Amino acid sequence: MSYYKVIDCKTKEKKNLFIITFTVLKRSDWKKPYLQIYGIYVQPEGNYAAALSIDMKITSIYPPHFFRRYRERIVRDEDISNEEIIRLYFKSDWGFMGAVVNEDFESVYHCFEDDNKEDKVNFVATTSRGYCFGERQGNINIIKTIISENMLFDNQKPLFSKLRNEFNEANKERYGWK
């Protein structure tokens, strides 16, 4: 059983929302919680999220398209508000394990995002709920889309299984998953 505390902070002028979550997987870990910091900000095209990874010194930007795909492919619930969808993603997110995109991964990306044939991605990452594709620009990751495990065709599954296994092993070590 895990315990968590969520703190919401809203800026006065632009009404941007910053969310800080402290999570422990057991009571004895209360002195060393898992810290998650992200912000939600609104642009004309929709809600964005920016998440800080303090230990890796990276910021990940999640555009509205990512959350539309998350709603459609993972959550499958049209009644949840955009802010709730973002909160749900981060509540169930336990980091990600990334790899550099090769031709095979890029073809999978374009298989599911065929309206963006010219769009480039340079990493793929396993998350708790699926696989994300994105582009790294310096110390900023732009997370473009997500696909679920069950969306993969049989011939695509071996390509992603190594990444999934590495993610599971890393989380076993870090969080004591069984």
Domain ranges of the chain: 3-175
Helices (H) and strands (E) in the chain, counts: 4, 9
Q: What is the pLDDT of residues 12-59, one digit of tens each?
A: 988 899 999 988 878 888 888 888 899 999 999 999 999 988 776 889
Q: What is the pLDDT of residues 85-121, one digit of tens each?
A: 999 999 887 667 778 888 889 889 988 887 766 788 9
SS3 state of residue 102: coil
Task: Please give the helix or strand (H or E) that residue 160 lies within, else none.
Answer: helix 157-175
Instruction: Report yes or no: 25 and 176 within 8 Å, Cβ to Cβ.
Output: yes
Select from 62, 67, 77 the least CA-distant residue to 134.
62
Select from 46, 86, 43, 89 the least CA-distant residue to 64.
46
Backbone conformation region of residue 71, classed left if phi is above 0, alpha if psi is from -120 to 50, else beta = alpha
What is the pTM (predicted TM-score) of this model? 0.87
Beta bridge partner(s), residue 135 = 142
Q: Which backbone phi and psi does 55 adopt, to 5 degrees? A: -65, -30
Would you say residue 140 has pLDDT above 90? yes
Average pLDDT over residues 73-87: 94
Residue 136: the pLDDT is: 93
SS3 state of residue 91: helix
